[in-house]
Homo-oligomer: A and B are copies of this chain.
Amino acid sequence: MDALDRQIIAALRENGRATYADLGRKVGLSASAVHERVGKLEATGVITGYHAVVDPSSVGLGVTALISIHPTDTADDDEVAVALGELVEVESCYRVAGDESFIVKVRVATVDELERTLGRLRRIQGVARTRTTVVLSTRFEGRPNTAGVGPDA
Q: Pick from A91, A95, A140, A153 the residue with the most CB of B within 10 Å.
A: A140
With A50-B50, A54-B13, A93-B140 as contacts: A59 and B135 at CB distance below 8 Å: no
B84 to A139, Cβ gap below 8 A? yes
Looking at chain A, what size class is its interface with the partner chain? 35 or more
How far, in whole Å, are A47 and B149 apart by their CA atoms in the complex? 25
**Chain A contact surface mostly:** mixed
- Interface status of A144 (Cβ within 8 A of chain B): yes
Q: Could you show 26 A-B contacts with beta carbons less than 8 Å apart?
A: A9-B52, A9-B59, A16-B16, A16-B50, A17-B50, A46-B58, A46-B59, A47-B52, A47-B53, A47-B55, A50-B52, A51-B53, A56-B148, A64-B94, A66-B96, A81-B139, A88-B147, A91-B145, A92-B141, A93-B141, A94-B138, A95-B138, A96-B134, A97-B136, A103-B133, A107-B145
**B142/A92 in contact, CB under 8 A:** yes
Q: A6-B59, A54-B149, A144-B51 are in contact. Are A139 and B94 (CB under 8 A)?
A: yes
Distance in angstroms between the alpha carbons of A99 and B108 in the assembled complex: 22
List the number of copies, as a whole number.
2
The answer, among B17, B46, B98, for a CB contact under 8 Å with A16, is B17
Residue of B nearest to A6 (CB): B59
